[in-house]
A and B are shown apart, each in its own frame.
Chain A
């Protein structure tokens, strides 16, 4: 995943959006803050997603890189962007396995470009792991606690 331009559309294995796949080269968070015309950006684990908040309306794609699946900072980055109202494509890229999919999805990712293609059946099962959920996140699902007191 050393591609400085980010992932290309044909590397996106799962996508939960109806619009065109965004095919813009991504820039770094620093570059995005300096360049007023960038529409796609890539967040690395050490980046502060909040630096992007004033540019959200011009961004069509945010890639969040996971150099290691065990580094969970990208989950917070994704939620922060969605909480701030970002509606563009949020793409998880890098070391992503079947067992991360359901949590990534809950944190607001709607596109996935894993380093290695995942088994479609395993992935489908993983996305459907939880019939219901305990936590309120940005995915809009009602929580179990809310369902109990409807």
Chain B
């Protein structure tokens, strides 16, 4: 894992002091709320429906046990004993007092954490594959490049007042576990003629106008990665729309200019930038690589005792093949049946930290699906790990099933929401668990957003649900056929929306259509793609 040096620590400390000063000037009336708002947002502090919300950055979703412990302690000390893991691999606290914010940031800084640029119209936390450095199918560990991008994008002087927020993702496998092409910039580390480089996709995103990012450069040499990203950003900062907040994301610029013209402008800027010497020295990427060197894996048993069916199910559902054959990556589901997706209590966070120390080289990952990963677990330790998780209510065997729902905070917390997402997620997982259909349905990604901003990724759900306001009543639109993975696609709306009870019934109906029509080991998504929307519509509205 990356470890701050004195420079990194000084940068974060300087930011904490800067924020303290900003809060002071706000209280003294030197800053109006309009002036203060973008500043507090760039420090992760939102004003929600009931209280302030603080969003803590977890760079590329990687953290150690000391950091996870502090996250749990902050939940107890400053919040109501829990926190919420987000689709950006971050953590947010929903019940924060403004006067505590600077102290929380100071607590975070002690364990090399911060809330920098977790909001605002700037480059946000860099996201990555939650199995980075652990998965069997990866070219290399993408995190040194994510860290390089983190440093470059932190307090970038030219790109602090962009037209709109800006999200970057870096992966290094053909399998996309991070929704890479639904980012403003998606970078895939690839190999070409024996050299490692970066493939750039630009202009993807969800929100009210979902778009899949087109590829604009097949191969950027790694010693030009930052320069190329800088060129992409400069074209956007100069020409992205600022007349309409809803058309200000880079996807609109790329769409309106066309991929070819945007690419031409980037290439022109890139050629100019190459002469400016903005690229960090190559020795820096070498230095960063050393932090992500594989831990000292040991050979051990490669099989396990599957006589306990509950354990066997959890192993089948919640573990992922590791690069070392005596290890697996284990997913801790934060989706207990009837629970709030992505929530964890302070006690649970401290327990996960303890288990990471005992079983996973002190390392944890946050998934964009709001679960937690112990990346390097010995197969021999799996049963002991599962036993402890299960006892703490963290053993749900439901990764990528219909119970593993992504849901935004919705109208229970969010001032933008039109509808409540959380109760709907709770009721759907209860319904399918009670009927025992979860396992039969297999991989089925259900994603719920409480408004058109799509924080719950409904466009990318095999089944997506969007909450809207219809004449003062919550109404839910159902969509089918989305995917955030390497087979990326955007879901299509089935037809008229439903009330809360109705949409739960509708989800059940479409899963019944799938079960009736599926061939072989097709997933819901595969069947939908083969048979199309008509049979589902017929079942829903026929």
Contacts of B38 in A (CB 8 A): 70
Cα of A79 to Cα of B233 in the assembled complex, Å: 13
**Complex Cα gap A77–B158 (Å):** 9
Contact (A137, B157) CB under 8 Å given A72-B237, A148-B284? yes
Closest chain-A Cβ to B255's Cβ sits at a distance in Å of 20
Segment with Cβ contacts to B, from A12-20, A25-33, A101-109? A101-109
The answer, yes or no, to whether A8 is at the interface (CB within 8 Å) is no
Is A86's CB within 8 Å of the partner chain B?
Answer: no
Contact, CB under 8 Å: B11 / A72: no
**In the complex, which of the residues A99, A107, A130, A137 has the most CB atoms of chain B within 10 Å of its own CB atom?**
A99
Which residues from chain B contact A73 at a C-beta distance below 8 Å? 237-238, 242
B242 lies within 8 A of A79 (CB): no
Scan residues 267-315 of chain B and give those whose CB is less than 8 A from a CB of chain A. 272, 276-281, 283-284, 287
The reply to whether A70 and B155 form a contact with Cβ atoms under 8 Å apart is no
Q: How large is the interface on B (under 10, 10 to 19, 20 to 34, 35 or more residues)?
A: 35 or more
Question: 1/0 per residue A79-112: CB within 8 Å of B?
Answer: 1000100000000000001110011101100000
Q: A72 and B277 in contact (CB under 8 A), knowing A83-B272, A130-B14?
A: no
A122 touching B161 in the complex, CB below 8 Å, given contacts A134-B155, A144-B151: no
* Distance to closest chain A CB from B326 (angstroms): 36
Q: Is the CB of B162 within 8 A of A135?
A: no
A123 to B: closest C-beta gap in Å: 11
Assembly CA distance A129 to B16 (angstroms)? 11
Q: B64 at interface (Cβ–Cβ under 8 A)? A: no
User: What is the chain B residue whose CB lies nearest that of A104?
Assistant: B157
Question: A146 contacts the other chain (Cβ, under 8 Å)?
Answer: yes
Query: Nearest residue in B to A144 (C-beta to C-beta)?
Result: B7
Closest residue to A118 on the B side, CB-wise? B30
Contacts of B159 in A (CB 8 A): 72, 75
Q: Is B156 an interface residue (CB 8 A)?
A: yes
Type the 1/0 row for A136-150, where 1 means its CB is closer than 8 Å to any CB of B. 110000011111110
- State whether B35 touches A130 (Cβ < 8 A): no
Cα distance A15–B10 when bound, in Å? 27
Contact flag A103-B7 (CB < 8 Å), given A76-B237, A145-B281: no
Q: Which of A107, A119, A149 has the most CB atoms of chain B within a 10 A radius of its CB?
A: A149
A45 vs B239: C-alpha distance when bound (angstroms): 10
* B residues near A107, Cβ cutoff 8 Å: 157-158
Which residues of A sit under 8 angstroms from B432, Cβ to Cβ?
A: none
A58 contacts partner chain B, Cβ-Cβ < 8 Å: no
The reply to whether B242 and A71 contact each other, CB–CB distance below 8 Å, is yes
Given contacts A99-B39, A145-B281, contact A72 B5 (CB under 8 A): no
- Most chain B CB within 10 A, of A48, A76, A104, A149, is at A76
Which residues in A have some Cβ–Cβ distance to B below 8 Å? 45, 48, 69-73, 75-77, 79, 83, 97-99, 102-104, 106-107, 119, 122, 125, 129-137, 143-149
Known interface pairs A107-B158, A122-B25, A144-B8; 19 further A-B residue pairs with C-beta atoms within 8 A, sorted by A's residue number: A45-B242, A48-B238, A75-B159, A76-B234, A79-B158, A103-B155, A103-B158, A129-B18, A131-B10, A133-B155, A134-B155, A135-B278, A136-B277, A136-B279, A136-B280, A145-B280, A145-B281, A148-B283, A149-B287
